[in-house]
Structures are given as structure tokens and as C-alpha cells.
A = this chain, B = another copy of it.
Amino acid sequence: MTRSSSPDLDKLLGHAFPVLDDGFVRLVDYMGNDSSIVQAARVSYGDGTRKVSEDRALIRYLLRHQHTTPFEMCMLKLHVRVPMDTWRQWIRHRTASVNEYSTRYSIAIDRAQMTPANAWRQQALDNKQGSSGFFASDEGERFSAAEQELHRLSKQVYQQRLDAGVAREQARKDLPLSTYTEAFWQIDLHNLLHFLALRMDSHAQLEIRRYAETIGEKIVKQWVPATWEAFQDYRFGQMTLSRQEQELLALVVNGQTEMADAWCAKSGWVKHKEERRILSREAKEFAVKLASFGLTPPW
């Protein structure tokens, strides 16, 4: 008997995939593969081994029905280089094992994430925590110049403190959040998929999304292809319908417009204030789902 392995992933061991201007995701080690998930699930079922086609079907079944424990039986260990700003979001996932570069023990990494002139994003108006569209280059150049000047001064102040003998743990206190850090980050596949579902989402901040996409597309996809496919179908690409949405969808697809109208009024999804129609946030969210089926809302 030998260890479970993934020949496609073995080729990537030690490889660093670049992200942002100076970051990376580097594959350090892993345990398990698609078959390990199946193997663990079959312990529960008291089952022996089967054909590969049945393995794929079982993985899809497990993911579809949220039988999550077999997916914990695969581990991934990455070495990542990330701006501290992004790392602050990343580290909120508590289920990983982490060893981070210590700027208390060592001199900070001499590099902060820099923004090209064409990469400054405008505040989204409809979403307080989002961005929407980019600035024109000339305006972007002014932002980038100011960023550069701030990085220069930060670096100078940090260096002066170190040169004068200030303790590293204190000298670092005013480094910009854009300063790169590095870490070993180890997580099981179940929790990794949860991380990816949240951080590959269009609502995730662009920077962490770039890391999540790299981990997903460049690494997980090669590592556990059947799981990755099932993840796309049942998790990342899934739609959820609330109790209310199911009720209203039934009315819409059966052409019961009057009842649908009554439903909207009663539920408070659609209100009328003088001449204006006011839709609740849920109503707007539902309209987007309906549109994906080529259907129009009752209002």
C-alpha cells in the first residue's frame, strides 16, 4: 500500500502561482485525492471499492446532500504571500492551521502592494461594501503617485527606527496594511470549499478573490477534479429559493397573476407610496433569479 496521491498535483509541488503585483500561492504539500473522499464515505457505508464512474457519482451525491465529513479527509498546505490587508480577511476563517511570518522576530518584508494607475476602483453606490468601475488613468496616476510617496515615507520611518535600535515588535507599528506577509496555510478540503465559495463570490473583495480563484482553478481543480466539478454544480453555482420564493415562483409559472399580486401585497414585498412602487430587498433579489429563467416578476 502506498499513500494516496494526485499525479497532476505532484507536478505542481513547489510551484508558486503569482497573484497581485508581488504575491503568490505556492503548493507545499497535500494529503488525499478524490478517492480518499470515497474511501472515507464507504467506511460509513461498510462498503468495498467500486468503479471510478461510481466514485464520481458518490462524490456528487455527498456534496449535493451536504455529507461534508468525507471531504475533511483531504488536506492542502499552501505557502502564500499576501498583503496584510487581504490577510486580515483571510485569517477570519478559523478552521485552518497557520504559521505566519513574524515581524516581531524578523524585519518586515520590504514590499507593499502597489496599485497601477488603471486599477483604482470607484465606490459602489448600491453596495456600501463594494466597488464598481475604475477611475480614468490620469486620476489613477495621481492616486498611484500619492500611494508611492506614502510607501516611501513608511519605509523610511521603519528603517530609521530599526537603525536606531527600536525593538522590531514596536518599529513595525506604522507599516501600511498593504505590506506583504507570508504564511503557511493548511486546511482540509471541506473547509477549503467553504472558503472558496465565499471568497470566489462576486461580492468578495477583488484582491482576496484573485487568491481564491488561483487556489481553485490552478490547484483544487487539478487535485480533486470530480469534487471540483461537483462544487461548481452544487455549491458555487447553486441557487437557493426561500419558502417565500418557492410560493411565488409556483404562482408565476402557473400564470396565476392575481394571486401573485395578492401575495406580493400581503408579504410586503411590493408597496405603493403615492405614485411610486417600492420593492423590498427580497423582491429585488427574487427578480434577478426569475430573470435567469427568462421569467418576469408579477409587479
Which residues of A pack against B, CB within 8 Å? 1-5, 10, 13-14, 28-32, 36, 39-41, 43-47, 57, 60-61, 64, 66, 69-70, 72-73, 75, 77, 79, 83-85, 88, 91-92, 94-95, 97-102, 104-107, 112-113, 115, 120-124, 128-132, 135, 139, 143, 146-147, 149-151, 153-154, 157, 160-161, 164-170, 172-179, 182-184, 186, 188, 198, 205, 232-234, 237-244, 246, 249-250, 253-254, 281-282, 292-295
- Whether A122 and B166, one on each chain, are in contact in the complex, defined by CB atoms closer than 8 angstroms, is yes
Identify 19 residue pairs between A and B in the complex whose beta-carbon atoms are under 8 Å apart, listed by A's number: A40-B99, A41-B99, A43-B99, A46-B101, A46-B102, A46-B107, A57-B281, A69-B99, A84-B177, A85-B172, A115-B173, A123-B167, A131-B170, A132-B167, A147-B174, A234-B240, A238-B240, A238-B242, A249-B293
Q: Which residues of B contact A115 (CB under 8 A)?
A: 170, 173
Residue from B36, B102, B242 in contact with A45 in the complex, judged by beta carbons closer than 8 Å: B102
- Whether B13 and A1, one on each chain, are in contact in the complex, defined by CB atoms closer than 8 angstroms, is yes
Q: Which residues of B contact A75 (CB under 8 A)?
A: 31, 75
The minimal Cβ–Cβ distance linking A245 to chain B, given in whole angstroms, is 8
- Whether A253 and B102, one on each chain, are in contact in the complex, defined by CB atoms closer than 8 angstroms, is no
Closest residue on chain B to residue A31 by CB atoms: B31
Residue of A28, A132, A160 with most partner-chain B CB within 10 A: A28
Q: Helix, strand, loop or mixed for chain A's interface?
A: mixed
Q: Which residues of B contact A2 (CB under 8 A)?
A: 10, 13
From known contacts A239-B241, A254-B294, infer whether A122 and B172 are also in contact, taking CB-CB under 8 Å.
Answer: no
Q: Which residues of B contact A60 (CB under 8 A)?
A: 282
The minimal Cβ–Cβ distance linking A284 to chain B, given in whole angstroms, is 12
- Whether B131 and A169, one on each chain, are in contact in the complex, defined by CB atoms closer than 8 angstroms, is yes
From known contacts A29-B4, A79-B43, A102-B46, infer whether A246 and B293 are also in contact, taking CB-CB under 8 Å.
Answer: yes
- Whether B177 and A123, one on each chain, are in contact in the complex, defined by CB atoms closer than 8 angstroms, is no
- Whether A169 and B129, one on each chain, are in contact in the complex, defined by CB atoms closer than 8 angstroms, is yes
- Whether A122 and B165, one on each chain, are in contact in the complex, defined by CB atoms closer than 8 angstroms, is yes
- Whether A237 and B243, one on each chain, are in contact in the complex, defined by CB atoms closer than 8 angstroms, is yes
- Whether B173 and A178, one on each chain, are in contact in the complex, defined by CB atoms closer than 8 angstroms, is yes
- Whether B250 and A293, one on each chain, are in contact in the complex, defined by CB atoms closer than 8 angstroms, is yes
- Whether B30 and A1, one on each chain, are in contact in the complex, defined by CB atoms closer than 8 angstroms, is no
- Whether A172 and B177, one on each chain, are in contact in the complex, defined by CB atoms closer than 8 angstroms, is yes
The minimal Cβ–Cβ distance linking A61 to chain B, given in whole angstroms, is 7
Q: Which residues of B contact A79 (CB under 8 A)?
A: 43
- A70 and B97 alpha carbons, distance in the complex (Å): 8
Q: Which residues of B contact A149 (CB under 8 A)?
A: 153, 157
